[in-house]
Structure 1
Amino acid sequence: MASTDSHSCVVYLVDPQDGKKGTVVPDRFRRLAIADGCGVVGLESADEDGGSQEELTGLIVAAIAAVMERQDPAELGGDGRAKVGAVAKQAGFKVTKVQFDEAWPKYVDGLGADDEDKDGE
């Protein structure tokens, strides 16, 4: 995989040096690796893709939250929701409309949880 700043990283399913499953990915490439479909080794999940998809959705929700907090009119659509392009730019990887639509309800649900946490203090 290669980032837009001309750095690259090779990701192996099985590391050729130690023979163990997975590759240690430097921090600068982790978002890109997850966006490209790499899973997280050691993450317990009912299905193989569940962990990486959950992680990806979490990154998208965090990006939505950051865009919504800024309230920059250029980053918001006519419906008041963050634009997919602004979310992708914040996340640092391509976000599809389908991924955005799946993450949006989780962002909205998180807003209610934040309010409950503040009320409980």
Structure 2
Amino acid sequence: MNDPQLQNLLDDLDATQGECDATSRLVVTRLAQKRIPYRVMMGQVELDGKVASPHFWVEAQDCVIDYRARQRLGSDQRVPHGVVRRNAVQAQYKGQQVVIDPLPDYIYELLIKR
């Protein structure tokens, strides 16, 4: 799966009302359904001295997947949003891998319909 396909797979999750942890869990669920390997990260994201911490994001296929950094750091176009190639990320992510299990199907379906 290439970057545009990954973005098309996930972009509708941006419309959900969750914070970074909840949105990351939705991303994880969708990736697991498609059997796409991923890593969930917890730590901080920083740009120009502004820091969001604690912060959750997902990494897959050499991309950072983060739909909530702008919610916390502002609308600067350099703040990653959505599926962004790791080498194009201008913010600094620091964190460690954590385990977040995919949601059960019935909960996932309820959350994405909101």
TM tier, shorter chain?
under 0.3
The answer to which structure, 1 or 2, has the higher relative contact order (CA under 8 A, 6+ apart) is 2
Q: Per residue, is there more strand in 1 or in 2? A: 2
Q: Per residue, is there more helix in 1 or in 2? A: 1
TM-score normalised per structure 1 = 0.24
